[in-house]
Amino acid sequence: MSQNIMLVIDRSQLDALRAETKDSLDDTKAAKTEAASFLENEGEEIKGAEQAGKRIAKMYVPGAREVLSIQKSIGKLSAGNLMGAAGLMSLALVLYQKLQVYYEEQRQRFQKLEEDIRQQQGYNREQFNLWYSQQQTAMASSYQRPINR
Amino acid sequence: MFATPTILVVGDLGQIWGKLDWVEQICGDREREGFGAEELEFEYEFVAAQGCCGHCEQLDGSIYRGPFIVSEFPFAVQAGEEVWLVGYHPNCQCILKLRNKVEGAVGLLYGELVVVEG
């Protein structure tokens, strides 16, 4: 009779990481949905405002027709729409800041990894880049392939 | 001291979420099914019974990898998750005792997370 050796795994860190990732993912999805809905509903007004803004930027000598056009475009943005746009902007800013922090962490981790690997393996930068691209290929395929048991 | 392997998960948020799900699934499978006792990662120490024969006494303290139990000790019988009865000769009370259960299992688990080409 053969017995298997059981392993009790502490998955608390993994669970926490999954929860954190899911929260971030939900935030992003919610922001995307809100942005898509906003663009769908207010797209014309945004387009109008954008065109008006471009005209302002290009307008060296404003003529009466241009002024009327700008007023018309801006007039389409009601107070409610402006609030929605401001909310969306602030949400986008929060997401952008989060992503900046995330990318900075990733960049620092990568630098540390490069230093460690180069020190351990005695790689120069070119050899490290080759090694890293092989790792990336392996990881990308590991995401697509079934587990090899 | 055994160092726990670090698993790097890269990708966008969706990919990271997918990969963490995959890791979770593998961990769950292994907790339920465990690993075969003859895996190469597992190391067993020969513990000679007191007053056993001279041959067994010579082997006392020797370390064997899992698959070699079968080839080196054809009469060995698994007596528990971590113990094999050697059965080297009639009435032999010597055992092979697993000495790296956690390290071996974690190593095997980590190996499962690294996909082999081919």
Is the minimum CB–CB distance between B62 and chain A shorter than 8 Å?
no
CA distances from residue B80 to A9, A27, A146, B6, B63 in whole angstroms, order as listed: 20, 49, 32, 31, 18
Chain A residue with CA closest to B25: the answer is: A147
Q: Which residues of B touch A5 (CB under 8 A)?
A: 34-37, 39, 42, 81-82, 98, 101, 104-105
Q: What is d(CA A87, CA A82) in angstroms, rounded to the nearest whole number?
A: 9
pLDDT at A56: 45
Residue of B4, B13, B22 for testing the chain A interface, max A β-carbons within 10 Å: B13
In this model, does residue B97 exceed pLDDT 90?
A: yes
Q: Is B54 inside a domain boundary? A: yes
State the smallest CA–CA distance between residue A43 and chain B in angstroms: 27
Q: Tell me which of A16-20, A27-31, A125-129, B80-84 is least confident.
A: A27-31
* Beta-carbon contacts of residue A73 (< 8 Å; ≥ 6 apart): A45, A48, A49, A51, A52
DSSP class of residue B114 equals S
Residues ≥6 apart with Cβ < 8 Å to A88: A34, A35, A38
Closest chain B C-alpha to A147 CA, distance in angstroms: 7
Tell me the C-alpha distance between A15 and A23, whole Å: 12
Q: Flag whether pLDDT at B96 surpasses 90.
A: yes
3-state secondary structure of B93: coil
Overall average pLDDT of the A102-118 stretch: 80
Burial B8-42 (b: 16+ CB within 10 A, else e): ebeeebeebbebbebbbebbeebeeebbebbbebb
pLDDT digits (tens, 9 = 90+) for A78-87: 444 554 555 5
Residue B51 lies in a domain: yes
Pick from A95, A88, A122, A85: which is nearest to A24 by CA? Answer: A95
CA distance, residue A103 to nearest chain B CA (Å): 11
Q: How many domains does chain B have?
A: 1
**Range of the structural domain that residue B86 is part of:** 43-101
Which of A2-16, A82-96, B91-105 ranks highest by mean pLDDT?
B91-105
Chain A residues touching chain B at CB-CB below 8 Å: 1-9, 11, 14, 17-18, 21-22, 24-25, 28, 136, 138-139, 141-143, 145, 147-149
Give contacts of B80 with chain A, Cβ < 8 Å.
3
Contact B92/B49 with Cβ under 8 angstroms? Answer: yes
CA-CA distance, B64 to B72, in Å (whole number)? 9
Transcribe chain A into DSSP letters.
---EEP-----HHHHHHHHHHHHHHHHHHHHHHHHHHHHHHHHHHHHHHHHHHHHHHH-SS--HHHHHHHHHHHHHS-HHHHHHHHHHHHHHHHHHHHHHHHHHHHHHHHHHHHHHHHHHHT--HHHHHHHHHHHHHHHHHHHHSPP--
Q: Is residue B112 part of a domain?
A: no
Per-residue pLDDT at A50 exceeds 70: no
Q: Is the dihedral of CA B42, B47, B52, B55 positive or negative?
A: positive
B 72-91 residues with CB below 8 A of A? 78, 80-82
The reply to whether residue B78 touches residue A21, judged by beta carbons under 8 angstroms, is: no
Does B57 reside within a domain? yes
Structural domain includes residue B9 = no
pTM of the model: 0.50
**Does the model's ipTM exceed the 0.85 cut?**
no
**How many CB atoms are located within 10 Å of the residue A75 CB?**
11
Contact B83, B51 (CB under 8 A): no
Task: Decide if B17 and A25 are in contact by the 8 Å CB cutoff.
Answer: yes
Which residue's structure tokens are 């000679």?
B48
Dist. CA B69–CA A5, nearest whole Å: 15
